[in-house]
Amino acid sequence: YRIVTSMFLHFSFEHILMNMLSLFIFGKIVEAIIGSWRMLTVYFIAGLFGNFVSLSFNTTTISVGASGAIFGLIGSIFAMMYVSKTFNKKMLGQLLIALVILVGVSLFMSNINIVAHIGGFIGGLLITLIGYYYKVNRNIFWILLIGMLVIFIALQIRIFTIKEDNIYNKLIKDDMTSGNYDNAQNIVKQTINKNYADDQTYYLSGMIMATINSKSEGMTEWERGLRMFPKSGLLNFELAIANRSLNDDEKALKYVRKALNADPKNTDYINLEKELTKSNESKNK
- The percent of residues in the chain predicted with pLDDT above 90, rounded, is 15
**What would the pLDDT profile of 147-191 be if each residue is shown by its tens digit?**
999 988 888 888 777 666 677 888 888 888 888 888 888 989 988
Give the per-residue pLDDT at 237.
92
Q: According to the model, what pLDDT value does residue 238 have?
A: 92
Q: Spell out the residues 6+ positions from residue 72 whose beta carbon is closer than 8 angstroms to its own.
A: 42, 43, 45, 46, 47, 49, 50, 120, 121, 123, 124, 125, 127
Percent of the chain with pLDDT over 70: 80
Which stretch, 17-26, 69-78, 111-120, 220-229, has highest mean pLDDT?
A: 220-229
pLDDT over 60 at 110, yes or no: no
Question: Looking at this protein, which amino acid is placed at residue 155?
Answer: L
Residue 74, pLDDT score: 86
pLDDT recorded at residue 146? 92
pLDDT at residue 207, as a whole number: 92
Is residue 233 predicted with pLDDT exceeding 80?
A: yes
| Mutual angle of helices 67-84 and 13-34, in 10-degree steps | 30
φ, ψ for residue 211, nearest 5 deg:
-80, -45
Cβ neighbours of 102 (radius 10 Å): 20
**Confidence check: pLDDT of 124 > 60:** yes
Q: pLDDT tens for residues 209-228?
A: 988 888 889 999 999 999 99
pLDDT for residue 54: 80
- In terms of Cβ atoms closer than 10 Å to its own Cβ (0-12, 13-18, 19+), residue 126 is buried
Candidate from 58-72, 180-194, 208-222, 251-265 with smallest mean pLDDT: 58-72
Instruction: Give the model's pLDDT for residue 61.
Output: 64
Average pLDDT score over the chain = 82
CA torsion, ordered 123, 125, 128, 131, to nearest 10 deg? -80
58 CB-near residues (< 8 Å, 6+ apart): 113, 115, 116
Average pLDDT over residues 6-10: 67
Cα–Cα distance, 239 to 263 (Å, whole number)? 15
